Structure 1
């Protein structure tokens, strides 16, 4: 284990720094995961990465990311998803499908590399950095591709959070419907919390449930994308891809943790501690990705992917707003 110590301590230090910086009011919108990846990139640019730190950095970027995703399941109470109602679940699912198809389609149309396009689409449509990490493992994405996509999604999510808070008074939505709109269309949980807060506690509660509904849908979506990627890579015929897809233990671990939390087996205070540990491990993973990221990758891939993500996010917001207005009309 000694060969991992140097790199693990480095990613831990960057992750803890990111969590402290995330408490600053302005930076809280960005969140600790994105700050961690930026700190990792800054460290690489300023200090470089020694050979002795590489094993621990790679361990953080792979194993700790998956472990953090499993523990993140302690944040999801499946009963909340059920109580949200069929309308809210349908809106979350429709937004995911729309976001995936539109952002990925725009990326490919603009000539963005397929894996970066898929990761950017998943981060936009589902749940930000967590979705990028989970799907990246399914499609064998390189670390620089994960870093590029995470940075794009973070930038877009932060910008749209500011826009949402500014346009909220003009949307003509009740606080609950605005919370549903925010939770069903914004990228990260941190973005959802920041955007919904000005509308009050009712909006915040609905927004969190809507966002966690999208998080719950990460598992089936990631499995389907993994199956699709396997078929694309191996050139298999229709219907044969399921036989060779590697089942991701961390996604099933996420569901298992959600089930344990939903059954109340783990006390609430311990569940909160495990969620905090999950974010620490994921922040270490993001720091590792930043330390391994090639700044040139952003210049090569980032501009077109950012353009596609921006256009897709605008369309997703308009689509989600239309669905929320339709739900209000039906009710």
Structure 2
């Protein structure tokens, strides 16, 4: 056995000694979040995991920080890849060209409008970009994917995820009330509005549930169509970041991160109908666990005191962005006669 081969087990043990405890804590946080989600299905496991991480963050010993950072980065990327297996281009086509156009228009207007609102409210550029991405596409998963090319500060990423949690949770109650009581939307249209305007998939399901099972089905398809736009949006921003010469640690940001390319591959495999149904079910569960563990890790980096002292502008941006995506999507649905 060579000296290099003999050293490998020692390096692996040293890596695990440094990283393992944090990974174990992140996994434990995910397990608790999943258990709460089973007891209260209206609460997204990802939302609960973020909140648990925020509550636990200040009390955790520093020795866990390396493992929690590793879990946040690695598990989020793996979870985003597996998220692609929940999407099918066939379902997107079934919406019809008019509805697909509404989805694309809503995402683009919400994204660019939130960027403008970020400048108006005076939040840092990184936070504005993270909020624009998360609120227009698919919440925390989109935020982390965009961070891979834009390189926002860790605090800005965590704050954006917290804002997604706050305003997405508020939308669970607001969307069905406004849709049915104020705007008089039919159940199918309310489902479309929920899919267009609410941030996380689980939040979309909860928001559309009062309108019935058919509305939930429609809402999920519309929401997942928004998720399809994650890859081109990240790739487009990657091109802009490279042209602008923005760097992180001396490196140019990638046009499309490898894990986003993996997301696209999984999407194409699902669309080609070559993945067995049991594998799809298993991949969905694994993706949820990975993302919940990552969200717990990300939540531990949030300091509530600092957020309250400096986050007023961020809270205002989150409110304005939520109102923007809700108004734009509802207007678009009205234009196409829904």
**TM-score normalised to the size of structure 2?**
0.89
Specify which of 177, 180, 186 is matched with residue 192 of structure 2.
180
Aligned twin of 1:219: 231
Aligned twin of 1:324: 333
Query: In the alignment, is residue 302 of structure 1 matched against residue 311 of structure 2?
Result: yes
For structure 2, the residue ranges without an aligned partner over 5 or more in a row are 1-11
**TM-score normalised to the size of structure 1?**
0.90
Aligned twin of 2:150: 139
Cα distance in 2 for partners of 1:220, 1:126 equals 11
Query: In the alignment, is residue 96 of structure 1 matched against residue 111 of structure 2?
Result: no
**Change in 2 beyond 3 A, CA 1:244/1:66:** closer
**Change in 2 beyond 3 A, CA 1:67/1:94:** same
Cα distance in 2 for partners of 1:116, 1:89 equals 28
Q: CA deviation at 1:39?
A: 1.2
Whether the 8 Å contact between 1:49 and 1:291 is mirrored in structure 2 is no
Q: CA deviation at 1:300?
A: 4.9
Q: CA deviation at 1:297?
A: 4.2
- Bigger shift: 305-314 or 287-296? 287-296
Aligned pairs (5 A) from 1:1-150: 1=12, 2=16, 3-25=18-40, 28-45=41-58, 47-51=59-63, 53-150=64-161
Query: In the alignment, is residue 284 of structure 1 matched against residue 293 of structure 2?
Result: yes
**Change in 2 beyond 3 A, CA 1:278/1:167:** same
Secondary structure of the 2:38 match is coil
Cα distance in 2 for partners of 1:66, 1:244 equals 16
**Change in 2 beyond 3 A, CA 1:246/1:164:** closer
Q: CA deviation at 1:4?
A: 2.1
Query: Which of these two proteins has the greater Rg computed from alpha carbons?
Result: 2
Whether the 8 Å contact between 1:60 and 1:284 is mirrored in structure 2 is yes
- Bigger shift: 283-292 or 59-68? 283-292
> Aligned pairs, how many?
318
Secondary structure of the 2:337 match is helix
Aligned twin of 1:257: 266
CA RMSD of aligned residues (A): 1.9
